[in-house]
Chains A and B, each alone.
Chain A
Amino acid sequence: MIATINPQEEPYEKEKKERYGLIPMAPKPRTTLFIQCLVDTVWPHVAEAMVGVLEGLGLELDCPTDQTCCGQPAFNSGFRREARVAARRFIEIFEKSGTIVSPSGSCVYMVRHHYAELFKDEPKWRARAQRIAARTYEFSEFLVDVLKVEDLGASYPGRVTYHDSCHLLRGIRVKEQPRRLLRKVAGLELVEMKNSDYCCGFGGAFAVKYPDISAAMVNDKVDHVVNSGADTVVGCDTGCLLNIAGAVSRRGLSIKTMHIAEILAHRR
């Protein structure tokens, strides 16, 4: 079963905490951090921000610090044996965890969708993977669909446009959740860019193997961000964001590239 916080109870708990400084009496279900390797190694501040938001909601977090990678890079390049090594290790590490939350739609898609494909000939591993997948959530999805929270009391002064990451949008069908969270941020004006649902051209090894095509795609994405009039582009996947930030930097633009957790953790 998926461990969830009682949706009716949560806003009241939050109110108690905010208005009266009370610490909720009932023990919260355990929440386990599944940190994408890119966040862990390149943008750890994204994970810090996510931790801030989740602890701000009174959740108790744990983090298996021996985690490394879910196996997606190898899987996407066709190296399934190597991907299985990573996937088995992931399963062993997260098997005893609580509800799993990750700041990456792509990694969640890997666990939810591709592990089944990866272990199609190994029913025992497949079943173990499915049990974990059933309690693994992407961060914005977890907030809106599981915790039923949209207003986190965040404040961010700026015009923000949201980039739909491919695996988050078309893999696990999360589209409105991040937008709903962003609309509740004080001072934030959300504007839509053209083709927000188009791939930014990251694609993992694709960006390195096919740099011309990748560059053409990310430059289109940056053009759309600029044309939207936004000063900040926000996403839920650090792969895309590193790609967009890299192109923004090379073009010498002043657009800020941020993970949604950073916005939600932002206070005046």
Chain B
Amino acid sequence: MSDISTEKYIEEARRGIANPVLQKALVGLQDRFGRGTAEAYRRLPEGPDLRIKAHEIREKAIANLDVLLEILADKIRANGGHLYFAETAQEAVDYGLAVARRNNVRLVVKGKSMVSEEIGLNPALEAAGIEVVETDLGEYIIQLAGEKPSHIIAPAVHKNRHDIADLFVQKLGIRRTTDPPELTHAARKALRAKFLAADMGTSGVNMACAETGHITTVSNEGNIRMATTMPRVHVAFMGMERIVARLDEYEIILRLLCRGAAAQTMGTYASYIGGPRRPGESDGPDEFHLVVIDNGRSRILADPQFREMLYCVRCAACLNVCPVYGKIGGHSYGFAYSGPVGAVVTPLLTGINRAKDLCQGETLCGACRDACSMNIDLPRMLLALREKLAYGDAAWQVKPASRAEGLAYRGWSWLIRNRRLYELGLKLAATGQKLLPHRKGMLRRLPPPVQGWTQSRDLHPLAEETFMERWRRTRKS
């Protein structure tokens, strides 16, 4: 598994908020894609309710996952491909490494894949002395910079063209330019040489289809098509949930995926791959391997509260509307998956206690639910995660996150049971608040544990008389 730093959420969020380049980039991203995707859904010929249908398709696929994967495996094998089920990240990485070693691979070109980030593929290949080159422009930029993706679809969104110009001067030895087409051309030139020399290509899988026995990769740069057809060997990695039963269903999912990802009706390149090059075909690898990865997904599948998370196709539409992601950026989430999807799936994959701030650090505003191409109710699952953190949960090995908070809510539940007691508590608080610093009728500083409120805003004080008291006083005559 790749590095996990979910416990640094607050610290990294603070850093993201203080980074003006990131802030500007996030505004641009959300203005363009957040609004664009909503418009793209609105203009679906079937209407926005197609998302509801997609949800049903995914629900059905996940309910029949074992059978669908079996069918897929049979078809891939019948076509001369290899299919491997990896229970853990380690098994998936080891399989990829073994294929590389067997084929004497020295250079791997990669199509962008978040699941490869999840399992930590690049460091493992590099440790084995194999050169790995990311071929998606954004991924290439952050690989050169030695960073991690900060967005599922737009991994280098946190960098502007000036950063990239400096990076390319340093790493590619080009003359400095901040002109995006010129920068892109420089990357393209460097990558072309890699494509031609690579022995192995790797990719993710946007979606697999059981009926036809193929996988699809979608890209806007054509790089995945090159990475999967030019080298001798292609190894594709997929989360075990990324499959639907039939081609007609598949088409719906793919159309929504492209709308969710980039407000496009269809990505520029969509490749359908079902095995290695056949005799007489001009393109394609000699060997094709599909690695189907569990890595904690079976546990999600087994829990009816969280199974819906497996419907996700990682389009990243939720990132483009999330007001929290829009301020803190993707690195704060401490794992491959950021934004609302990360806030739910990362705790489930990597440990709930460790990622407690991902579960609690959202406002439950619901924008992600409306943006989701598969109509997934992420806030519902955030709430379910919070329940686990509140009381602990044996099945998920969760310990209560805060005894103090538990006590506070228990006290609160006694207070709200009795209006007289409640009012007494309010009276005490209303008296106590007079001792707090205030200006122009607003409280300037609150004591612990609620001091966070007044860190950068004031608070209107409690009223002298509640509405209920006044109603009783004036109406009950």
Contacts and interface: CB of A to CB of B under 8 A. Distances in A.
A145 interface: no
In this complex, the interface size class of chain A, counting residues with CB under 8 Å from chain B, is 35 or more
B389 A69 contact: no
Interface string B414-431: 011101001000100000
A111 B469 CA distance: 24
Given A44-B470, A76-B386, A167 B416 contact: no
A12 interface: no
A219 B17 CA distance: 12
Contacts of B370: 170
Contact of B324 (A76, A215, A217): A217
Contacts of A44: 463, 465-467, 470
Interface residues of B, number: 66
B463 A65 contact: no
Given A44-B466, A246-B442, A211 B409 contact: no
Contacts of A208: 449-450, 452-453
B323 A217 contact: yes
B282 interface: no
Contacts of A216: 17, 327-328
A202 B388 contact: no
Contact of A67 (B10, B387, B455, B468): B468
B390 A68 contact: no
Interface in B376-429: 380, 383, 385-391, 405-406, 409-410, 412-413, 415-417, 419, 422, 426
Interface in A62-93: 63, 65-69, 73-82, 85-86, 89
A212 B386 CA distance: 20
23 contacts: A39-B467, A44-B465, A44-B466, A63-B475, A66-B468, A68-B415, A78-B388, A79-B413, A85-B413, A89-B417, A166-B367, A197-B367, A199-B323, A203-B363, A206-B360, A207-B452, A207-B453, A210-B357, A210-B452, A215-B457, A217-B324, A246-B458, A250-B456
Given A65-B472, A69-B416, A242-B460, 20 more contacts: A41-B466, A44-B467, A48-B470, A68-B419, A74-B412, A74-B413, A79-B405, A79-B409, A85-B416, A117-B383, A203-B363, A203-B365, A210-B10, A210-B13, A212-B14, A212-B455, A213-B17, A213-B327, A216-B17, A216-B327
Interface of B: 10, 13-14, 17, 323-324, 326-328, 357, 360-367, 369-370, 380, 383, 385-391, 405-406, 409-410, 412-413, 415-417, 419, 422, 426, 440, 442, 449-450, 452-463, 465-472, 475
